[in-house]
């Protein structure tokens, strides 16, 4: 699971028909590899890559291609496809259906017609109707004619190394809230509450609650049967291979709670990771507490706790010592991300409330201001299905699913103070 502040990798260049112009209007080729989703999250053998859709044999598999229209107008669309033997497809959009007979073994452009399109996301639904051979068709791209400034989709413009599956674009935009700390204080503790509304606990979601400059802690949905509470701290040594970290720059596990797994992690930077398999539930509010304190020897200890509503007690997740740093709590934040690219077309939402920090002298301060940001998938407008803000005096984040309205990055939001200071006996917290 890759987090928002790891540099994203380049989405692969699709081998689709090169954009041309007709009647002084550019033709934009929508690469299917980064913009197509299937109705059954796996699609039983169908291929999806920079080449487009291949091996489409099952009529029960329904590909949907998403494109964002920024300006209402009339747009002309084409389908670029081929088939070894004749087949019939149905292309549906805005309650209109166009039947296409694919009758060429070479790539061929099939006109779909001109459509008056509203601003917002346009789902283009492909259905296999009839085939005389084993496959319905291979589909290279969908073309849409119009000003490129008014048409947005996932292309290959992110920075990093190539990804044949358009991985990050299909995952969708990650969204973040950065909370404003009180000035001039050494902050030792950060308290936050999280609620995932019913129906928003989508597989592949990470609802990060207590973030800090060197790591994060939150809840995630790993599968249909497993959920976790995750707490990780990065090493100061920059690498994706934990085995390459020098001994004096390794994050050291100081302790962990009962049932907690702890180990090194890599692939998104490296460091110490811990997690508790815990069946948290959508619709219920959970409390988190994280402590960061310098040790006076150029090391810092990071400790996270989870309040278990079943036992009405705080549980230790883990405590780590990070070398080469002497710091108090910096950059408190929360974020929402999807780490399953097959589920990038499913919306998920999370609420955060009652943020407090406690300084080294034991003084609590409520934090009521947060800045909304997102990652490059949203910043570069490859996808515009992201939101953040305040609802019912709670901060919220929402992403994925190709909904129409979006929040401008760097917007600042303020919730009304609740005045519900946490009542925590620090001395009685588990060690």
Q: Return the HEC string of the chain.
A: CCCCCCCCCCECCCCCCCCCEECCEEEEEEEHHHHEEECCCCCCCCEEECCEEECCCCCCCCEEEEEEECCCEEEEEEEEEECCCCEEEEEEECCEEEEEEECCCCCEEEEEEEEEECCEEEEEEEEEEEECCCCCCEEEEEEEECCHHHEECCCCCCCCCCECCCHHHHHCCCEEEEECCCCCCCEEEEEEEEECCCCCCCCCEEEEEEEECCEEEEEEECCCCCEEEEEEEECCCCCCCHHHCCHHHCCEEEEECCCEEEEEECCCCCEEEEEEECCCCCCCEEEEEEEEEECCCCEEEEEEEEEECCCCEEEEEEEEEEECCCCCCCCCEEEEEECCHHHCCCCEEEEEEEEEEEECCCCEEECCEEEEEECHHHHCCCCCCEEEEEECCEEEEEECCCCCCCCCCCCEEECCCCCCCCCCCHHHCCC
Number of CB atoms found within 10 A of residue 128's CB: 20
Mean pLDDT of each 10-residue bin along the chain, 431 residues long: 34 35 77 92 78 93 96 96 96 95 96 95 97 95 94 75 67 97 97 98 98 98 97 92 91 97 83 96 98 98 98 98 97 97 96 98 98 94 96 98 96 97 96 89
10 Å CB burial of residue 255 (0-12, 13-18, 19+) is middle
Q: What is the pLDDT of residue 204?
A: 97
Q: What is the pLDDT of residue 50?
A: 85
Q: What is the pLDDT of residue 93?
A: 94
Q: Which tokens is 379 given?
A: 């910043």
Q: What is the pLDDT of residue 42?
A: 64
Q: What is the pLDDT of residue 23?
A: 58
Distances from the Cα of 63 to the Cαs of 32, 54, 360, in angstroms? 10, 11, 55
Q: What is the pLDDT of residue 265?
A: 76
What domains sit in the chain, N to C, each tagged with a CATH number?
Answer: 21-158 (2.60.120.260), 172-428 (no CATH)
């Amino acid at each position: 699971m890759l987090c928002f502040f790891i540099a994203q990798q380049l989405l692969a260049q699709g081998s689709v028909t090169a954009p041309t112009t007709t009647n002084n209007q550019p033709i934009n080729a929508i690469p299917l590899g980064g913009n197509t989703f299937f109705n059954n999250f796996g699609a039983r053998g169908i291929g999806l890559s920079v080449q487009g859709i291949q091996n489409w044999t099952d009529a029960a598999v329904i590909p949907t291609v998403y494109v964002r229209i920024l300006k209402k107008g009339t747009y002309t669309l084409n389908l670029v496809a081929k088939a070894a033997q004749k087949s019939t497809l149905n292309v549906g959009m805005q309650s209109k259906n166009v039947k296409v007979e694919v009758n060429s073994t070479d790539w061929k452009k099939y006109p779909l017609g001109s459509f008056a399109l509203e601003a917002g996301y346009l789902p283009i639904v492909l259905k296999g109707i009839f085939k005389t051979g084993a496959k319905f068709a291979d589909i290279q791209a969908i073309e849409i004619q119009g000003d490129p400034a008014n048409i947005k989709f996932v292309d290959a413009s992110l920075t990093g190394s190539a990804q044949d599956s358009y991985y990050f674009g299909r995952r969708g935009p990650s969204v973040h809230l950065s909370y404003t700390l009180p000035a001039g204080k050494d902050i030792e503790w950060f308290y936050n509450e999280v609620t995932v509304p019913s129906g928003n606990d989508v597989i592949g979601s990470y609802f990060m609650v207590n973030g800090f400059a060197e790591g994060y802690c939150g809840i995630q949905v790993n599968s249909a049967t497993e959920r976790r509470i995750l707490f990780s701290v990065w090493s100061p040594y920059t690498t994706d291979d934990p085995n390459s970290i020098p001994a004096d720059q390794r994050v050291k596990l100081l302790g962990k709670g009962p049932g907690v797994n702890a180990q090194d992690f890599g692939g998104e930077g490296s460091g110490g990771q811990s997690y508790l398999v815990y069946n948290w539930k959508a619709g219920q509010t959970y409390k988190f507490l994280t402590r960061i304190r310098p040790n006076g020897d150029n090391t810092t200890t990071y400790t996270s706790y989870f309040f278990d509503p079943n036992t009405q007690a705080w549980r230790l997740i883990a405590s780590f010592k990070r070398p080469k740093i002497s710091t108090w709590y910096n950059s408190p934040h929360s974020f929402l991300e999807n780490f399953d690219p097959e589920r990038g077309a499913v919306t998920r939402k999370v609420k955060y409330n009652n943020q407090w920090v406690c300084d080294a002298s034991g003084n609590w301060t409520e934090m009521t201001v947060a800045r909304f940001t997102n990652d490059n998938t949203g910043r570069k407008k490859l996808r515009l299905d992201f939101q953040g803000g305040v609802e019912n005096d709670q901060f919220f984040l929402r992403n994925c699913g190709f909904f129409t309205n979006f929040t401008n990055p760097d917007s600042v939001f303020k919730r009304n103070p609740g005045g519900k200071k946490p009542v925590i006996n620090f001395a009685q917290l588990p060690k």
